[in-house]
Every structure is written in structure tokens, then in C-alpha cells.
Amino acid sequence: MMLKKSKFLGIGSYLPKRVVTNNDLTAFMDTSDEWIRERSGIETRHWVEGTTTTSDLALIAAERALENAGVKKDEIDLLIVATLSPDHDFPGTACFLQEKLGIRAGVPALDVRQQCSGFLYGLSIADQFIKTGMVKKALVIGAEVHSKGMDLTTAGREVSVLFGDGAGAAVVGVCDDVVSDKDSQIFSTHIHADGNFARELWVKAPSMTYSTSRLPEEAFANKDTFPKMNGKTVFIHATRRMPEAIQEALAANNRKIEEVDLFIFHQANLRINQMVAKQLGISEDKVFNTIQKYGNTTAATIPIGLADAVAAGKLKKGMLVASAAFGSGFTWSSALFRW
């Protein structure tokens, strides 16, 4: 069977209106603008208000991506939502989004729970479905509401200052008009995991590991409902795995790093991305970062970055783009595509 090619048809993003500065966080914890900038490069982040959910953010990003692509919602054959902050434990957030967006009944709706690598995992799934002819158009979304799940005290500041809320979406579709490698297309995607480090960045509760219930009183007493991170271990592995993933994508397509026009990395920490760029030997002007404005929006960082890069004139049709992510699990991933 001759495999088809897929490509990006459109991109969209949405950030909640509320902007929270580093100085704003001093009302909750012992921190400072200088302390946060020095460790992460983050200056501001966006937080939701009231009862806003992850699927609410995803809805607006998806509508913008569909409009950008010139694709009607009835043309979507596959819906994928990457998130670690679902509306509810079950069913999946993709199902709630399907109803809100008005995607027709019968279209498969998947949740991808691979945290910071979630969007590229979702892109990989969509790419394979399109290549094999199972679907023609897919909507891949990364969306997060972190602000409602953080320990906003001094005890939790090393994690909570890093995260923001937001959503990014991409319409991916089959392309039958590929004549050369200069045409828009997704060349390859690569996904990996190593569960030996699952507890280095995680949220313990709710969990079946408790003896009485998924969410006992001890979980609240021990603050098990808040994320915990071994920052040093994450930094070491992220700055190793992301360069590896980029090199894997280049090697798979017989490309040299000098040929890449733009790099879109997951936005966890500006220091991580600077180190990745250094290890790859690329100039920082080829790396498009949004961490300063939005913080870490986990599964949403890459599609938000793509949308921002287009809006800023940094990402243009015909450019060769390499993207990589690393996150909880540990998981890591990459993609090489022509925009």
C-alpha cells in the first residue's frame, strides 16, 4: 500500500484574558520577579477565571485553527486532545470538546495523556491515521488549565511559578499534491518514553495506590494532589533527550541541522531551551520561544508557539521546521515538517 502524506492545514491558539505577572505571585508566596526570571525566563503567564475548563480553551483554539485552515467542522474525521488537566476524570476531554464544537457523532475522539509531549504524540497519531488512509482531516489540540491545580504557597513555588493556562490547535490533513520535499508536508514524527522516571515529575493523587479510596484525607494532608518535580533530574534529561530527538528526526530524513529554518521546542524553561540550542550548535535566533509570555502550558506550548510564530512573521510557508518536547513520564518526542 502506498502511504499518503499529511501536512498542517491550519493553526490556532487561545490564551485566557487574565495575565499574571511574577510580581502578582508575591501575594501568594515568598518569591520575586528576579527569582523567577533567573530560574526560568518567565515574566508572565495567563490564568483562567471562574468555571472555565480545559475544553473551553480548546474550543476557541480549535475554532481559530479551523478558520485558519478554511476547513469546516463537518470535514474533521478525527479529534485528538492532549492534556494533563482534563475537565473530568472521565470521559475524556475530547468527548466534551466534540459536543461543544459540534463535531458530528461517530467521529473518534481521543485523549492523549503524555503531558508536555502530548501535542507531538497526538500529531504522530494523526499523521499515521492520515498516512494509512483511515482519515483525511484531523484536529489535534493541546490544552491546559494549570492554575486550578497548583500549590500556590511558598512550599510549592518551584513548580507553581512555571505554569500557565492556554490552548493551541492544528488542523492536519492529507496532501495529494506533494511533488518534491519543498512542498508542505510532515516528514516524520518520533515518540519515546522511559517509565523508570515516572515519579520524578508527577501528581500522586487521586490514585488507586491508597488503601481506602482514590482520594483519602491523607492525600490532602500530604499535598499529594499537587505536582512534584525533581527539577535537576528533569533538566538533565530534557537537555539530553530533546537534542537526541531532533537529531533522530534529521537522520530519518537525511537532513542536516543547517537546513532547518526554525526550531519550535516545548516551552518548559528558557534555560532548558538555551542549553538544547547550545548542544545542537544552533543560533538562538532560529529558536522561537514563548515561555517568557505564557509560562509552561504543557501540551499546548508547541501549537501556541506555531501560531505565535506565524503571527510574528517568523514562520512562513515553505520553511523547514523541527520540533521537540520532553516531559513527565519521562516522555520525549520530535517532528520534522515543511510548513
Q: Which fold has domain 185-338?
A: Peroxisomal Thiolase; Chain A, domain 1 (3.40.47)
pLDDT for res 1: 65
Q: What is the mean pLDDT of the chain?
A: 97
Domain locations along the chain:
5-175, 185-338
Q: Is the pTM higher than 0.85?
A: yes
Angle at 316 between CA 314 and CA 321, to 5 degrees: 80
Q: What is the pLDDT of residues 43-64, one digit of tens each?
A: 999 999 999 999 999 999 999 9
Average pLDDT over residues 88-93: 96
Using CA atoms, how far apart are residues 203 and 301, in angstroms rounded to an integer? Answer: 20
State yes or no: pLDDT of 178 exceeds 90.
Answer: no
Q: What is the pLDDT of residues 232-284, one digit of tens each?
A: 999 999 999 999 999 999 999 999 999 999 999 999 999 999 999 999 999 98
Using CA atoms, how far apart are residues 153 and 20, in angstroms rounded to an integer? Answer: 15
State yes or no: pLDDT of 88 exceeds 80.
Answer: yes
Place of cell 522516571: 197
Eight-state DSSP code of residue 190: E
- Burial state string for 172-211 with b = 16 or more CB within 10 A and e = fewer than 16: bbbbeeeeeeeebbbbbbbbbbeeebeebbbebbeeeebe
Q: Which sequence positions are flagged as catalytic?
A: 116, 266, 296
- Count the residues in the chain: 339
pLDDT for res 176: 82
Q: How far is CA 54 from CA 280, 288, 297, in A?
A: 34, 25, 11
Q: In this structure, are residues 260 and 320 in contact, taking their beta carbons and an 8 Å threshold?
A: yes
| Three-class SS state of 55 | helix
Whether the domain at 5-175 and the domain at 185-338 fall into the same CATH topology: yes
Average pLDDT over residues 21-32: 96
Please tell me the CATH code under which domain 5-175 is placed: 3.40.47.10
Using CA atoms, how far apart are residues 123 and 249, in angstroms rounded to an integer? Answer: 14
Q: In this structure, are residues 83 and 299 in contact, taking their beta carbons and an 8 Å threshold?
A: yes
State yes or no: pLDDT of 118 exceeds 90.
Answer: yes
Q: How far is CA 197 from CA 223, 230, 236, 241, 330, in A?
A: 20, 10, 12, 13, 6
Q: What is the pLDDT of residues 187-216, one digit of tens each?
A: 999 999 999 999 999 999 999 999 999 999
Express as a percent the part of the chain with pLDDT over 70.
100
Q: What is the pLDDT of residues 123-146, one digit of tens each?
A: 999 999 999 999 999 999 999 999
